[in-house]
């Protein structure tokens, strides 16, 4: 898990679209802290600091300590909105967490050792079905990524969630089926050759049957 970081915040008394636009014009980003059976708290954050945190990776899987009015509030980013044109953050939602909190979070998947996959060496293609997995994990022990070793995989192999070793205390949110994460697909040329071979074999068999009649 990535190391927690701090964000300095200011309380926001006024809410609404007009107030939010003014906040953004002043180089700030409106945000809200909710959860833990407490009233939501509206805040503003420094735009530049938040921009680099969001685009630096791991934003939604790393705990932050928000410094507000002399207090530190431990949170996990749950959602954020970006401007569709500039990619600038326009709003962020934070969830209060503690050492005992369990959260659902999407964790990215990293595939390792493609060079050790006989299937990929033969021209097979890694077909990624899921780029991340939604996990149920302790808020203070969220994995940065789930690593899947491709060593020994062959063309036609499928990698399912049951083959993935998750960290202690972490489980998949989807638990009613053994879903597919990735497959090693045949290259287009090989697949076409196999189809041609199968078609030729079928034609030969049909011809032999007709001659037998």
Contact between residue 43 and residue 10 where contact means Cβ atoms under 8 Å apart: yes
More confident residue, 188 or 125: 125
Report the C-alpha gap between 150 and 100 in whole angstroms: 34
Supply the pTM of this predicted model.
0.75
Report the C-alpha gap between 201 and 155 in whole angstroms: 22
Q: Supply the DSSP string of 26-91, one letter for each residue.
A: TTEEEEEEEETTEEEEEEEEEHHHHHHHHHTS-GGGS-EEEEETTEEEEEEEEEEEE-TTT--EEE
- The per-residue pLDDT for range 39-81, each reduced to its tens digit, is 899 999 999 999 999 998 889 999 999 999 889 999 999 999 9
Contact between residue 82 and residue 88 where contact means Cβ atoms under 8 Å apart: yes
Report the C-alpha gap between 9 and 30 in whole angstroms: 10
Is residue 209 pLDDT above 80, yes or no? no
Report the C-alpha gap between 64 and 58 in whole angstroms: 11
Mean pLDDT on 175-194: 81
- Per residue in 14-47, is it b (16+ CB within 10 Å) or e — as a string? eeeeeebeebbeeebbbbebebeeeeebbbbbeb
Is residue 18 pLDDT above 80, yes or no? no
């Amino acid at each position: 898990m990535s190391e927690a970081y701090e964000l300095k915040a200011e309380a926001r008394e006024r809410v609404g679209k007009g107030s939010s636009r003014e906040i953004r014009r002043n180089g700030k980003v409106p945000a809200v802290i909710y959860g833990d059976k407490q009233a939501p708290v509206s805040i503003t954050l420094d735009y530049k600091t938040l921009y680099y945190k969001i685009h630096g990776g791991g934003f939604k899987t790393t705990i932050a300590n928000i410094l507000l009015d002399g207090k530190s509030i431990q949170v996990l980013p749950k959602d954020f909105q970006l401007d569709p044109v500039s990619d600038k953050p326009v709003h962020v939602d934070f969830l209060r967490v503690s050492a005992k909190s369990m959260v659902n979070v999407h964790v990215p998947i990293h595939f390792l050792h493609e060079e050790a996959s006989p299937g990929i060496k033969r021209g097979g293609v890694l077909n990624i079905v899921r780029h991340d997995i939604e996990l149920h994990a302790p808020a203070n022990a969220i994995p940065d990524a789930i690593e899947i070793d491709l060593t020994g995989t062959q063309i036609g192999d499928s990698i399912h969630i049951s083959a993935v070793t998750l960290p202690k205390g972490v489980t998949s949110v989807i638990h009613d089926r053994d879903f597919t994460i990735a497959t090693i697909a045949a290259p287009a040329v090989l697949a076409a050759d196999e189809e041609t071979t199968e078609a030729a074999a079928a034609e030969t068999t049909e011809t032999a049957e007709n001659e037998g009649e």
